Amino acid sequence: MKVRNLVLVLGDQLDRRSTALEGFDPAQDAVWMAEVAEEATHVWSHKARIALFLSAMRHHRDWLRQQGYRVLYHALDDPANEGSFASELRRAVRQHQPQKLIVVEPGEWRVRQSLQRTAQQLGIPLEIRPDRHFLISVDEFKQHAAQRKQLRLEFFYREMRRRTGILMEGKQPLGGAWNYDAANRQSFGKQGPGLVPRPIGFTPDPITQEVIRLVESRFPNHPGSLRDFDWAVTPEDAERALNDFIENRLPLFGPYQDAMWTGEPYLYHSRLSSAMNLKLLDPRVVIQKATDALAQGHAPLQSVEGFVRQILGWREYIRGVYWLYMPEYLEHNALNADANLPKFYWTGETDMNCLREVISQTLRYGFAHHIQRLMVTGLYALLLGVQPKQVHQWYLAIYVDAVEWVELPNVYGMSQFADGGLMASKPYVASGKYIQRMSNYCAGCRYKPDKAIGPDACPFTTLYWDFLMRHAATFENHPRLGQQVRNLRRLSELERSAIHQQAARLRWG
C-alpha cells in the first residue's frame, strides 16, 4: 500500500502536538514508529529505561490510531524486525514507497545523521521540522553563544527570564534576586528528612505489563530491575505526576534540592525528567504550574525559582551546548583521564556506603537525583580519573531519563570537566566531607570522611587531594578553584607521597 508522506515519530518525540503531524492527511499519509533493539544495546541500557520507551511508544501509537492516524508500527517482537533504525526504515520505504519523509528535529546527533544518510541512500527527500517542545531553538542558542566570549548558565538563564517574562517584574527579577542558591543548600541534619510525601506512581497497565515481559525475555542480562516500575507512560499520567509534585513537594524543593538521605531516592525532587524528555509533558506547562503555586501562596519564591531555573535555565542551556558542539564534543578529554570505570558501577558492590546506596538505588529504580549523580557517582569518577567516554556510556545506559542531548553535556561539562570549561566554570570537586555534610551516608560507612591516608581513609578524600596535586598547574590560578589548590600547602611532603600512593592503589587496584 503506497503512501504520500511517511511521518517518522521517534521514541522521544511522543508529543501530541508535534509539528510532524501538521498537514497530515489520513487518506494518503502514514505515521511510522519503530522499536529497534539497537537503541537498547548501543549502550547497555537499564531494563527500566527500555521498558519506559517501549511502553510510552505503544501508548502513543494507540492514541494516534484513536485519533484516526494510520500508524505503521514495527514492534520489537515482530519476527521481520531487523533491529536497526536504518534497516527498518528501508523496509518501510520498500513496502510503501513514500514520496517524502517528515520528521521533527531528532534530539540526538547520531540519529539525525543516520536518518539523513538513509534518506539520501533511498533517494527520498527528508523534511526536518522544528521542535516546538523547547523554549529556545538551536539556532537562537547559537546566536546567544556567538555574542559571548564564554558560555555560562547564569547569563543564559537571565536572558531566558527576560525573553519570556517568567518570574519577572518589568525588567527586574521577581523578588529582587536572580537566584536563591545561598538559601537552597540545606541538609536534613541528624534528625533526617522525616516523612517526605511519597511521589505518585503508576501501576503498570496491560500494555506496560506486556512490555515488561518482553524486556525481561529479550534483555535478561541488562542491568537494573523492573520490579518497581511505576513511571508515567502517557501525557495523562505525566500531568498527574506534575500535579502531585506541585501539591506535595515543590514548597520544600528549594531548601533541600542538594540534600541526600539513605533509602530516599526522590526526597523533594519532581521525578518529571523522563516525562519531559519523552515529550509527554510540555516544559511550559510545568513552569506555569510552578509559578501559579507561587502566585497562590502555596510555594515560596526560593523553591519556585530554584525549580524554574532547572527547566528554563539548565535544561535549555544543556540542549544548546549539545547542538553547538556536537559531534566534536564527544572527543574531549581535557583532564587526560585514563582509568577504567570500576566494575561496581554496574552492581553496587562496594564498601563505600555512599556509592553503594546511590548505585543500588539506581539499579532498582533507574533513578538518582541530581546531587547523587553529580556529587557521588560523578564525583568519584572525576576524582578517580575515569575515561569520559566510559562515564558517558554508563550515564546514558542507566537512567530512565537518559537521552544523549541532556546526558552528555551534564557528564562531560558539569560532572567530569572533560570539555575543559566550555560549559561550566569549574570542576565540581570535593572531599568526603561534602558527602558527610549533605547526607547520612558516612554514618553507616567503614571509612572516615576526614581522613586521606590509612586503612580507614575515605577514598573520596584521598582522591580529592590527589586530584588537586595532579591538576595543580591547571587550576592554581583558577578564580574559583585556586583556593582549594592552595590548601595543598597544608600537607607535608610525606603526606603528599602517602596520598599519591594510596590514590594509585584505588585507581589501578
Ligand X SMILES: Cc1cc2nc3c(=O)[nH]c(=O)nc-3n(C[C@H](O)[C@H](O)[C@H](O)COP(=O)(O)OP(=O)(O)OC[C@H]3O[C@@H](n4cnc5c(N)ncnc54)[C@H](O)[C@@H]3O)c2cc1C
Which of 267, 442, 481, 485 touches ligand SF4 (CB under 6 A)?
A: 442
Q: What is the three-class DSSP state of 179?
A: coil
Nearest to 303 by CA among 189, 180, 187, 199: 180
For 236, the grid coordinates are: 495523562
Q: How many CA atoms lie within 13 A of 251 on its CB side?
A: 10
Which of 208, 234, 302, 436 touches ligand SF4 (CB under 6 A)?
A: 436
Which of 118, 208, 234, 273 touches ligand X (CB under 6 A)?
A: 273
User: Is position 272 an interface residue for ligand X (rule: CB under 6 A)?
Assistant: yes
354: partner contacted, choices ligand SF4, ligand X, none (Cβ within 5-8 A by kind):
ligand SF4
Query: Could you give the CA distance from residue 55 to residue 204 in angstroms, rounded to a whole number?
Result: 9
User: Is position 399 an interface residue for ligand X (rule: CB under 6 A)?
Assistant: yes
- The nearer residue to ligand X, 105 or 401, going by C-beta atoms, is 401
Size of residue set near ligand SF4 by CB under 6 A:
14
Query: Could you give the CA distance from residue 326 to residue 328 in angstroms, rounded to a whole number?
Result: 5
For 502, the grid coordinates are: 594510596
Binding mask 412-431 for ligand X (x = CB under 6 A): --xx----------------
User: Is position 318 an interface residue for ligand X (rule: CB under 6 A)?
Assistant: yes
Angle at 384 between CA 268 and CA 346, to 5 degrees: 60
Q: What is the three-class DSSP state of 332?
A: coil
For strand 100-104 and strand 71-74, is the pairing parallel, antiparallel, or unpaired? unpaired
**Helices and strands in the chain, H and E counts:** 23, 7
- The nearer residue to ligand SF4, 84 or 350, going by C-beta atoms, is 350
User: Is position 449 an interface residue for ligand SF4 (rule: CB under 6 A)?
Assistant: yes
User: Is position 277 an interface residue for ligand X (rule: CB under 6 A)?
Assistant: yes
Q: How many CA atoms lie within 13 A of 485 on its CB side?
A: 18
The sign of the CA dihedral 392, 395, 397, 403 is negative
432: partner contacted, choices ligand SF4, ligand X, none (Cβ within 5-8 A by kind):
ligand SF4
276: partner contacted, choices ligand X, ligand SF4, none (Cβ within 5-8 A by kind):
ligand X
CB of residue 199 to ligand X, shortest distance in Å: 9
User: Is position 261 an interface residue for ligand SF4 (rule: CB under 6 A)?
Assistant: no
458: partner contacted, choices ligand X, ligand SF4, none (Cβ within 5-8 A by kind):
ligand SF4
Query: Could you give the CA distance from residue 372 to residue 364 in angstroms, rounded to a whole number?
Result: 15
Going by C-beta distance under 8 Å and a sequence separation of 6 or more, which residues neighbour residue 308?
166, 167, 287, 290, 291
256: partner contacted, choices ligand SF4, ligand X, none (Cβ within 5-8 A by kind):
none
* Amino acid (1-letter code) at residue 131: D
User: Is position 432 an interface residue for ligand SF4 (rule: CB under 6 A)?
Assistant: yes
Q: Which stretch binds ligand X (CB under 6 A): 12-20, 39-47, 121-129, 401-409?
A: 401-409
CA 229 to chain centre: 18
User: Is position 378 an interface residue for ligand X (rule: CB under 6 A)?
Assistant: yes
Which of 14, 92, 280, 311 touches ligand X (CB under 6 A)?
A: 311
CA 305 to chain centre: 20
Q: Tell the residue number behind the cell numbers 556529587, with chain if given.
A: 375
3-state secondary structure 289-307: HHHHHHHCCCCCHHHHHHH
Which of 268, 447, 464, 465 touches ligand SF4 (CB under 6 A)?
A: 447
For strand 30-34 and strand 5-8, is the pairing parallel, antiparallel, or unpaired? parallel
User: Is position 383 an interface residue for ligand SF4 (rule: CB under 6 A)?
Assistant: no
Going by C-beta distance under 8 Å and a sequence separation of 6 or more, which residues neighbour residue 488?
465, 468, 469, 472, 496
User: Is position 116 an interface residue for ligand X (rule: CB under 6 A)?
Assistant: no
- The nearer residue to ligand SF4, 312 or 458, going by C-beta atoms, is 458
CA distances from 296 to 1, 3, 416, 432 (A): 55, 51, 40, 41
Q: What is the three-class DSSP state of 406?
A: helix
399: partner contacted, choices ligand X, ligand SF4, none (Cβ within 5-8 A by kind):
ligand X
Q: Which stretch binds ligand SF4 (CB under 6 A): 87-95, 395-403, 421-429, 437-445?
A: 437-445
User: Is position 401 an interface residue for ligand X (rule: CB under 6 A)?
Assistant: yes
Query: Could you give the CA distance from residue 237 to residue 202 in angstroms, rounded to a whole number?
Result: 7
Binding mask 327-356 for ligand SF4 (x = CB under 6 A): -------------------------xxx--
Segment 355 to 374, residues that bind ligand X, using CB under 6 A: 369-370, 373-374
Binding mask 388-427 for ligand SF4 (x = CB under 6 A): ----------------------------------------
Size of residue set near ligand X by CB under 6 A:
27
Q: Tell the residue number behind the cell numbers 534540592, with chain if given.
A: 257
For 436, the grid coordinates are: 558527610
Which of 49, 269, 279, 392 touches ligand X (CB under 6 A)?
A: 269
Backbone angles phi, psi at 100, to 5 degrees: -150, 150
Query: Could you give the CA distance from residue 202 to residue 240 in angstroms, rounded to a whole number?
Result: 10
Segment 155 to 184, residues that bind ligand X, using CB under 6 A: none
User: Is position 54 an interface residue for ligand X (rule: CB under 6 A)?
Assistant: no
Q: Which residues bind ligand SF4 (CB under 6 A)?
A: 352-354, 432, 435-436, 441-442, 445, 447, 449, 458-460
Q: Which residues bind ligand X (CB under 6 A)?
A: 269-273, 276-277, 310-311, 314-315, 318, 369-370, 373-374, 378, 395, 399, 401-402, 406-407, 410-411, 414-415
